[in-house]
Structure formats: C-alpha cells, structure tokens
C-alpha cells in the first residue's frame, strides 16, 4: 500500500495490519480494530487461512471519498482486502429502529433490553459495529477463492462467521447480535416486495435497502440456528465444501451438497425458506 493512499485519514500504529481513521473517530477505530484483530485470529485458525485486511473507520465527511456504498453507516468492503465502516452513530442506524408502538410488546421489551439507552432511545450501533466481522468473512471468501454457488450462501457464510466469533470472543454481545435480526424476521412480510431466495439471487442489493436488510436478518437468524446445531464444525465444513470449486449446481444438487458436506441445518435454509 502506498503511504499516501488515504491522505486525509490518520493511521493507527498499534496493529499489524493497516488501520486508518477520520480525525475524531480514533477511539472508535481503536475498538473496531481490536475486534477485527481478534476475529481475524479466530476465523484464521478456524478456516486455516489468513487474508490481508485493511480497515478504514470513517466520519461522514470522508465517506464519499473512500467508501463505495452510498449510505453512511453500512459496513462494507471496498475491495477484496479493505473494510470500510462508520466511526459514529448515524441516521441510517437510527432509521432502522421501528418505533416501539408498532412492535408487539414482547419485541419492544427485547429491543429495549438489548439496545435501550438511559434516555429511553434505542441505539443499534452495537449491532451495526459487529457487522464488520461479517464483512471480514467476505475477505476470507474472496482471497481464498471460496466459490459459493449462490450469493445468499456467501452472505449466510459471513453471518455464521460473525455468530461463531461472537460466541467465542465476545459472548456478552450475543443479545446485541441476535435481538434486532430476530425482531425483523418476526415482523410481517406483507410490505416486502421480494421474499424468495431466487429474487435475492437475481437482484441482490437491488432488492432495495430495507428489503435487503430483511434478507440479511433472516440469514442472521439462520446462522444462529446453524451454529447452535453444528458448532464451528458446520462453518468449517461449509467453507471446505466450496473452497476453490466452481461447479454449477442445481438447487437439488446444492441441497444434497449442503446436507452431506456441510450441515443439514444449512440445507434447510434453502429447502425451508419460504414465507
């Protein structure tokens, strides 16, 4: 990496990988980088691969310059080695919180318990901050040339990476990881334009931000179920099943492959998806 690739950012020096932050986000960048270091170590050992990793922690004024997702706040990769995440709370995260009065009382209570602030507001930043590890899962996938035969399966893989890492490295964060996706997955689907895995495959992020978020939440819920049924081995087997293979598989062939080479709960995401 050239020294002046990010001329307006500050380089944090305590890490063995490049970490750059906008002025004012250094403290948040430090904690994101520690999480990335721990997750890289945990997943590196589980998946027997060590991807390169650059981390950019950005304030809104640097987002357009260095990120390549239009909305400030969405963690993503900007190339196959680089993660870009927000360094502060933002309108995108706040906009993802449904008002308590539209939720069933139990769901409203769960959201308050997981994300409630002293002033009564809901703050989803602990959830969105953790998604950095999902994005790190993509770096593993790209650099090891793990060729998942479906986009949804790659997203599910990243969510299993994230879930496994939280269980292993920061179990106190499990309520923050699980509550929001479970709440979204439980909401009615009447207003969703797209609901099938075929639609997701065809349109991917073009299903729209809200609808994409719903798919991801279902993948989070599935990742939890898969991890609880199959442990780290389910993740390892899924990884090995598609490492450097680029076979074309029909849904039937894929279901059999997932059941036999990965875990039956992963097959169920495909065969029991419909809502």
Contacts of Zn ion in 75-114 (CB under 5 A): none
Q: Which is nearer to Zn ion, 42 or 219 (CB)?
A: 219
Q: Which helix (H) or strand (E) element contains residue 137? A: helix 125-144
Rounded distance between C-alpha atoms, residue 107 and residue 239, angstroms? 34
- Considering the complex, what minimum distance in angstroms separates the CB of residue 119 from Zn ion? 32
The one segment of 48-56, 120-128, 158-166, 247-255 that binds Zn ion by CB under 5 A: 158-166
Contacts of Zn ion in 181-210 (CB under 5 A): none
DSSP annotation of 209: H
Cβ–Cβ under 8 Å, residues 236 and 46: yes
Q: How far is CA 26 from CA 42, 86, 172, 210, in A?
A: 24, 11, 24, 30
Q: Which is nearer to Zn ion, 32 or 158 (CB)?
A: 158
Q: Which is nearer to Zn ion, 6 or 157 (CB)?
A: 157
The one segment of 8-16, 60-68, 153-161, 262-270 that binds Zn ion by CB under 5 A: 153-161
Q: Which is nearer to Zn ion, 33 or 161 (CB)?
A: 161
The one segment of 80-88, 96-104, 152-160, 199-207 that binds Zn ion by CB under 5 A: 152-160
Helix and strand numbers, DSSP H then E, in the chain: 11, 5
Rounded distance between C-alpha atoms, residue 158 and residue 9, angstroms? 28
Q: Which residues are near Zn ion by CB under 5 A?
A: 155, 158
């Amino acid at each position: 990496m050239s020294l002046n690739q990010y001329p307006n950012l500050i380089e944090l020096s305590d890490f063995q990988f490049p970490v750059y932050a906008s002025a004012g986000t250094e403290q948040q960048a430090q904690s994101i980088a520690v999480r990335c270091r721990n997750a890289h170590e945990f997943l590196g050992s589980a998946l027997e691969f060590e991807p390169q990793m650059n981390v950019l922690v950005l304030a809104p004024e640097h987002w357009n310059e260095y990120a390549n997702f239009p909305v400030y706040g969405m963690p993503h990769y900007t190339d196959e080695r680089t993660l870009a995440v927000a360094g502060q709370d933002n309108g995108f995260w706040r906009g993802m919180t449904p008002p308590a009065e539209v939720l069933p009382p139990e769901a409203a209570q769960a959201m308050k318990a997981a994300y409630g602030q002293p002033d009564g507001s809901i703050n989803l930043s602990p959830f969105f901050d953790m998604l950095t590890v999902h994005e790190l899962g993509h770096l593993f996938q790209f650099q090891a040339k793990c060729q998942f035969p479906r986009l949804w399966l790659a997203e599910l893989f990243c969510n299993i990476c994230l879930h496994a890492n939280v269980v292993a490295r920061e179990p106190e964060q499990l309520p923050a990881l699980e509550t929001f996706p479970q709440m979204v997955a439980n909401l009615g689907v009447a207003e969703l334009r797209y609901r099938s895995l075929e639609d997701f495959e065809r349109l991917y992020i073009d299903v729209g931000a809200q609808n994409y978020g719903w798919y991801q939440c279902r993948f989070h819920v599935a990742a939890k179920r898969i991890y609880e049924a199959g442990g780290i081995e389910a993740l390892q087997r899924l990884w090995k099943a598609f490492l450097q293979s680029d076979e074309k598989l029909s849904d039937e062939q894929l279901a059999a492959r997932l059941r036999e080479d990965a875990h039956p709960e992963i097959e169920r995401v495909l065969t029991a998806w419909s809502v």
